[in-house]
Each structure stands twice: as structure tokens, then as C-alpha cells.
Amino acid sequence: MPDFETLRRLMVEHQLERRGIADPLVLEAMRKVPREAFVPPELAEEAYADGPLPIGEGQTISQPYIVALMTEALELRGGERVLEIGAGSGYAAAVLAEIAAELYTVERHARLAEEAAARLTRLGYDNVHVRVGDGSLGWPEHAPFDAIVVAAGAPEVPEALKEQLAVGGRLVIPVGQGRTLQDLLRLRRLSETEYQREELGGVRFVPLVGEEGWQW
């Protein structure tokens, strides 16, 4: 078997730090989470490759750099309540849970959600809460959130997610009129009615399917 600990360290050095990821909390979380536990067993040797990998149901585990970039963009300092849309295999949830106090994650594919929940529990992440549902509607019962991250591309920012963001909170989401190419946006809620919008670069994500996302 590969030396995953060494591969993880090299991934942080070469794929993250050299590309400008500098937040020490993000880098430490990426050093700790065993990415190989979140990919299909037959792909474990490719877990630290510089790209996404398939996890079933037409979904992917995001490239390590993208996970780090989006986590850094949330500006977490510890102690936050965070909402993630698109649990996938649970990898990004684990990274977020290393920093945040409570992590709530919504996944529309029941099999992926069940497997992610079991995997996260097995690895000791007792501050992660997983549910099956329409991610475009968020998880209003646990709002407001200090930060929200969306791991799927939306045609526009869902109003439900904007409403569930605490004042001062950050929402990071890929938005684009095509289903495969998006701009990564960060919305900062300034008041009950005002939001500041920043563009963070081009990305590729699977579509956010739901009531306030793409319709099949």
C-alpha cells in the first residue's frame, strides 16, 4: 500500500501551498483528513492526485486544491456553525469539521449520504450532521449559519441559502448559466438586506439540482 501520510504531506506542499493556500487552519485540516478513506477502494492509490475522482451516482470528490480554496474562502476561525451543500463522499465535510464547531451537510443522493455519514462516524467526526434532501433549500431548522459552502454549480444564488446566512457570514458557491462551467462566488452578508459579492475564479462542478437550482 502507498504511504498515504507522505502523499498527504506532499499534496499540501505541492498542490496547496505552492498555489497560494496559506490559511494555517485549512492546511492543517488538509494534512489530517485521510482522503484515501473517502474514495472508492479501487481508487485509493489515486486519492492524492491533482484532480477530482468519481464516487458514484454521477458525482465526484473535488480536487484537493478546490476543497482547500473553498474552505479558505469561508474565512473560518473555529467555533462556527457551517452548512455544506453536496456531501458527496464526506471528504470536504471532514475538512470543514476539523475547523468548525458544527457542520451540517445536505446530499440529495441517499446512498452517498448514508455512506458519508457512516464513514464520518467511523472516523470520529461527531460534529457532522448529514441529511438527505434538496440542497438548494438549505437546512432552515439549523439556520442561521456563519458560513455556507455549495459543492455544485447553480444557475444563480438560491434565495433560501442567502436567507439562512447569518449577518457577517460568508456563502461560497459556483454560479454559471452553463451546467459545467461556473464562476466561484463569495457572498458576504452585510445586513438583513445587503450582500457583498466577490468573484474568486472559474471552476467546474456538477449541477446543483433542486427547487432553487437546475431542473432536470
What is the set of domains in the chain, with CATH numbers? 51-203 (3.40.50.150)
Helices (H), the chain: 4-10, 24-32, 64-73, 91-97, 110-122, 159-163
Kindly list the catalytic residues.
Answer: 62
pLDDT of residue 180: 75
- Rg for the chain, CA atoms, rounded: 16
pLDDT along the chain (216 residues), means of 10: 92 98 98 97 95 92 96 97 97 98 97 97 97 97 98 96 98 89 96 96 92 89
> Three cell numbers at 202?
472559474
pLDDT of residue 69: 98
pLDDT of residue 213: 94
CB 27 within 8 A of CB 11: no
> Which stretches of the chain are assigned E, i.e. beta strand?
53-56, 59-61, 81-85, 102-107, 128-132, 145-150, 165-175, 182-189, 195-203
Distance CA 193, CA 203 (A): 28
